[in-house]
Structure 1
Amino acid sequence: MNIIEKIAKAGVVGAGGAGFPTHVKYDCEAEYLIINGAECEPLLQTDKFLMREFAAEILEAIVMVAENIGAQKIVFATKKKYTKEIACLEKIIAEKNYKNIELFLMDSYYPAGDEQILVYEVTERIVPEGGIPLQVGVVVTNVGTLYNSYRAVKDLPVTDKYVSVLGEVNDPRIIQVPLGTSVKDCIAAAGGSTINDYAVIVGGPMMGTNLVGSEIDQAVITKTDGAIIVVPRNNFVIERNKQSIEHIKNKAKAACIQCSLCTEYCPRYLIGHELEPHRIMRALSYNEDAEVLKEAQICCECGICELYACPMGLSPRLVNVYFKNKIKEKFESSQDQLKAHPMRDYRKIPTARQTARLDLDKYDHQALAETLKVDVKEVKIPLKQHIGAPAVFNLEKGAVVKKGELLAAAKADSLSVNIHASLDAQIVEVNDQYIKLKAKDEVVS
């Protein structure tokens, strides 16, 4: 069984983003392999932990993946300020004589970890609008994905996740939990919340999922979740993202002053893409059928336009998301050649400044306690933890499974991945959304 087959069998997906099936991404040829160790969003620390604790495993996986795709250049991109992590990587690179792995050190700005921004920073090549890095000869992969790929080659499926739990918790820390562990159990493992009326951000504060009330009770950890940030319910980020689309549209029609700052700071616009959010906001006010609205399809939803740039407190990102879902016709660029904006280097947003804008700076550089492996008695494992089709359940309710056993198989001929049991347990509930497991001694017959 080759590396692609083993990664597919283990159910590896992109650990730092939308969950693209890794066996599909790595089944190609590319000139560059770029490793994303930049931890894109403010406050996140899980990738730093992985680089410190599993540098040898990650670097071994890099060598295997680079050989598989025929990469001529291997570039490990991370931030200059990650001095401990860089030292760990350099130590293994020297010991193993990995001379062909180049470290590329970046300033701390947002969104440094966006894969298209990484491609431009490292190669000065611009990924086409609506395209992928492979179109310019590049594969970008996250350190968490590489760690899982290393384990896959050792015949270990993806069953657990390392998660940073921080913010308004008594004991901020990295935890290792079985997939399907409830967010509430994760918060409890970090000593519980310091406040009663709290909300949760799963992922980063710019692009993560915001949860309040009963949403918190239902949420579980998936293959793509790397952080839980507990914040006050009235935090700026939470309030902004809970607006209805009608309120957002009415507010935009009434208050947009066409200052164009949303466009001038847009990372896609700055690498030459034909995306101008201020024009979309103008079209929203006058003509929702305007041709310019198709540009919304190439928005990366980084949130800079609404959480940093707009002086009127409007939400161009959420407007773009609205039109992404509404307009089915594919965006087609009118540009023959893409060229980065000459002011790009002067419009990079320092991460610390972005964190302060979000009213989250009190949690910046929050010290995390020693890693804790969390044992739980019940998990709810989603059948869809990735881009593409849900996995297909292939057992029966009541079946007893071992940790690592295949629960649901990747759907054939589609972007799908295998799902494995994360506990030694019994299947107690099944539907088209998830499989619930309970430890055998917890099941009441």
Structure 2
Amino acid sequence: MDLLNCIKEAGIVGCGGAGFPTHVKYSGGGVEYLIINGAECEPLLRTDRYIMKHLGERVVSAAEAVQELLGAAQCRIALKKTYTEEIKALEKVLKAKNSRVELAKMDSFYPAGDEQTMVYEVTGRVVPPAGIPLDVGCVVSNVATMLGISDAMEGKPFTEKYLTVTGEVRNPSVLHVPVGTSFEACIALAGGAKKSRYFIVSGGPMMGARMTMEEAKNAVVTKTTSGILVLSEDCAIARKTQISLQHMFNRARSACIQCRYCTDMCPRHLLGHPLKPNLIMRKLAMAGDVSKVLDDRDIQNAALCCECGVCEEFACPMGLQPKRVNQVIKGALRKAGIRYHREESVWAADKNRDGRKIPASRVAVRVGVASWYDLKIDTLKEGTPERVEIPVSMHIGAPSEPVVQAGDRVQAGQLIAKIPEGAMGANIHASISGRVVSVGQRIIIERAG
């Protein structure tokens, strides 16, 4: 089987973002640069760093195979120059393999791992507004995606996930667990929570999904889960999450001082994109209702927001939430069927961009997680749950169609849900051997006795 079909059959999706099916991403053609994203820019996460340090040979082998598949002239693993141990480990692998893969050592800033930011850092090319890296001859894939491809090359489907569990837990760790493992089980593997009540972020503190302790009881590890942060129930992140939409809009109307910091520090604006959060805040304040301003060009530019959180967590001196405002506008634009139309232009990065890069350590302080920023996490713990709940939709595209029924016996690695005919999606496989308990939005499997 050729590599592209191997990736498709294995159900590989992007591990560094929303879970775009990898076989679709690699079918675009016209690739000059294959960039492997190892920046892991979110504070506290250590998953990709563990993979690069301990599993670098598999990452490099997969990167070489994908480079050949895409016909890319260059392949670079992009990571922060402060990742000294990871750089040393990868350089040893590259030398031993006499590999053409190179390292691109980036400054330690946030959001270095954003793929459009990374394309500019590695190649000097600006991805156009509402565009994708392929528009400038680049494909970006996460190091964990490479690890999945390495497994697929050996005939193993995507059924297990590496992730970081840190924060208010007794033993912050990198875990290796089956897809569908509960968050509760993951927290237990990390020694359990230090507090009886806590708040959870799935992913990093800047862009991760936020949930209460009760909501987290129903959460499970998916193909895109990169980390679980256990935080105090009254932490700054939790308090901001509790602000109602109406109160947020009221504060935006009354307190925005038009300082422009949200715009001047916006990573997309610094790449030359016409995104200006301060104008969005002002026009929304004047209109008082999102639905009244959807035809406004500045409002429509909210579609360009990458939701990194720099504007509200770092830039705004008034404690406002431009990112959340942009999220609301983006939802309203989708509901109204208004798609972003890019004007023809030559896009160039702002000349002040380098001076406005935000050190990752300062981001950690602002968001309230500095206590764990310098924590060294190099311990791997394996999880073997008795039960997994595997969502049929954990990727961009159509939900997968179950091919098993309640009562069926399955083996780990067996196909349990397939890509719908004619749709974009990803195959899903059993992550443990056992009996299928139920089939719905999740396929629940209990380990065989």
Question: Shared fold (TM-score greater than 0.5)?
Answer: yes
> SS where residue 379 of structure 2 aligns?
strand
Q: Give the counterpart letter for 2:81 in structure 1.
A: K
Distance between the aligned counterparts of 2:9 and 2:235, measured in 1? 41
Q: Give the counterpart letter for 1:235 in structure 2.
A: C
Task: Return structure 1 stretches of 4+ with deviation > 6 angstroms.
Answer: none
Question: What is the match of residue 389 of structure 2?
Answer: 380
Cα distance, 1:369 vs. partner?
Answer: 5.6
Question: What is the match of residue 348 of structure 1?
Answer: 357
> SS where residue 145 of structure 1 aligns?
helix
Question: What is the match of residue 300 of structure 2?
Answer: 294
After TM superposition, the structure 1 = structure 2 runs for residues 401-420 of structure 1, keeping only pairs within 5 Å, are 401-420=410-429
Question: What is the match of residue 326 of structure 2?
Answer: 320
Question: What is the match of residue 78 of structure 2?
Answer: 77
Distance between the aligned counterparts of 1:149 and 1:369, measured in 2? 23
State yes or no: 1:162 paired with 2:168.
Answer: no
Question: What is the match of residue 304 of structure 1?
Answer: 310
Question: What is the match of residue 89 of structure 1?
Answer: 90
CA shift in 2, pair 1:335/1:264, >3 Å = farther
TM-score by length of 1: 0.97
Kept in 2: contact 1:405–1:420 (CA 8 A): yes
After TM superposition, the structure 1 = structure 2 runs for residues 29-44 of structure 1, keeping only pairs within 5 Å, are 29-44=30-45
Question: What is the match of residue 272 of structure 2?
Answer: 272
Cα distance, 1:209 vs. partner?
Answer: 0.7
After TM superposition, the structure 1 = structure 2 runs for residues 19-38 of structure 1, keeping only pairs within 5 Å, are 19-27=19-27, 28-38=29-39
> SS where residue 282 of structure 1 aligns?
helix
State yes or no: 1:48 paired with 2:49.
Answer: yes
Question: What is the match of residue 361 of structure 1?
Answer: 370
Kept in 1: contact 2:200–2:213 (CA 8 A): no
TM-score by length of 2: 0.96
Distance between the aligned counterparts of 1:408 and 1:419, measured in 2? 5
Question: What is the match of residue 443 of structure 2?
Answer: 435
> SS where residue 217 of structure 2 aligns?
helix
After TM superposition, the structure 1 = structure 2 runs for residues 254-273 of structure 1, keeping only pairs within 5 Å, are 254-273=254-273
CA shift in 2, pair 1:240/1:335, >3 Å = farther
Q: What is the total number of aligned residue pairs between the two structures?
A: 439
Cα distance, 1:440 vs. partner?
Answer: 2.2
Cα distance, 1:243 vs. partner?
Answer: 2.2
CA shift in 2, pair 1:369/1:348, >3 Å = closer
Kept in 2: contact 1:171–1:369 (CA 8 A): no
> SS where residue 218 of structure 1 aligns?
coil
Distance between the aligned counterparts of 1:41 and 1:367, measured in 2? 15
Distance between the aligned counterparts of 2:303 and 2:373, measured in 1? 32
Distance between the aligned counterparts of 2:78 and 2:51, measured in 1? 14
Cα distance, 1:280 vs. partner?
Answer: 0.4
Question: What is the match of residue 212 of structure 2?
Answer: 212
Distance between the aligned counterparts of 2:117 and 2:436, measured in 1? 43
> SS where residue 428 of structure 1 aligns?
strand
After TM superposition, the structure 1 = structure 2 runs for residues 154-193 of structure 1, keeping only pairs within 5 Å, are 154-193=154-193
Cα distance, 1:151 vs. partner?
Answer: 0.7
> SS where residue 361 of structure 2 aligns?
helix
> SS where residue 307 of structure 2 aligns?
coil
The answer for unaligned runs of 5 or more in structure 1 is: none
Deviation digits for residues 56-76 of structure 1, max 9, x if unmatched? Answer: 111011110001111011111
Distance between the aligned counterparts of 2:154 and 2:122, measured in 1? 31
Distance between the aligned counterparts of 2:238 and 2:420, measured in 1? 35
Cα distance, 1:195 vs. partner?
Answer: 1.0
Further displaced range: 284-293 or 84-93: 284-293
Deviation digits for residues 21-77 of structure 1, max 9, x if unmatched? Answer: 001111233011111111121111000000011111110111100011110111111
Question: What is the match of residue 422 of structure 1?
Answer: 431
> SS where residue 269 of structure 1 aligns?
helix
Q: Give the counterpart letter for 2:330 in structure 1.
A: K
Distance between the aligned counterparts of 1:276 and 1:239, measured in 2? 26
After TM superposition, the structure 1 = structure 2 runs for residues 114-263 of structure 1, keeping only pairs within 5 Å, are 114-263=114-263
State yes or no: 1:7 paired with 2:16.
Answer: no
CA shift in 2, pair 1:422/1:169, >3 Å = same
Further displaced range: 267-276 or 413-422: 413-422
Distance between the aligned counterparts of 1:60 and 1:370, measured in 2? 24
Kept in 2: contact 1:169–1:190 (CA 8 A): yes
Distance between the aligned counterparts of 1:214 and 1:284, measured in 2? 34
Deviation digits for residues 66-92 of structure 1, max 9, x if unmatched? Answer: 011110111111111111111111111
Kept in 1: contact 2:260–2:278 (CA 8 A): yes
Further displaced range: 288-297 or 320-329: 288-297
Cα distance, 1:396 vs. partner?
Answer: 1.1
> SS where residue 417 of structure 2 aligns?
strand
Kept in 2: contact 1:172–1:369 (CA 8 A): no
Kept in 2: contact 1:383–1:434 (CA 8 A): yes
Cα distance, 1:335 vs. partner?
Answer: 5.1
After TM superposition, the structure 1 = structure 2 runs for residues 328-343 of structure 1, keeping only pairs within 5 Å, are 328-334=337-343, 336-343=345-352
After TM superposition, the structure 1 = structure 2 runs for residues 390-405 of structure 1, keeping only pairs within 5 Å, are 390-405=399-414
Question: What is the match of residue 379 of structure 2?
Answer: 370
Deviation digits for residues 132-155 of structure 1, max 9, x if unmatched? Answer: 000100011110001101111111
Distance between the aligned counterparts of 1:93 and 1:440, measured in 2? 42
Deviation digits for residues 317-370 of structure 1, max 9, x if unmatched? Answer: 000000101013112233511111111000000000010011111011223363
Question: What is the match of residue 68 of structure 2?
Answer: 67
> SS where residue 52 of structure 2 aligns?
helix
Kept in 1: contact 2:389–2:445 (CA 8 A): yes
Kept in 2: contact 1:46–1:174 (CA 8 A): yes
Kept in 2: contact 1:409–1:419 (CA 8 A): yes
Distance between the aligned counterparts of 2:344 and 2:267, measured in 1? 17
> SS where residue 131 of structure 2 aligns?
coil
The answer for unaligned runs of 5 or more in structure 2 is: none
> SS where residue 403 of structure 1 aligns?
coil
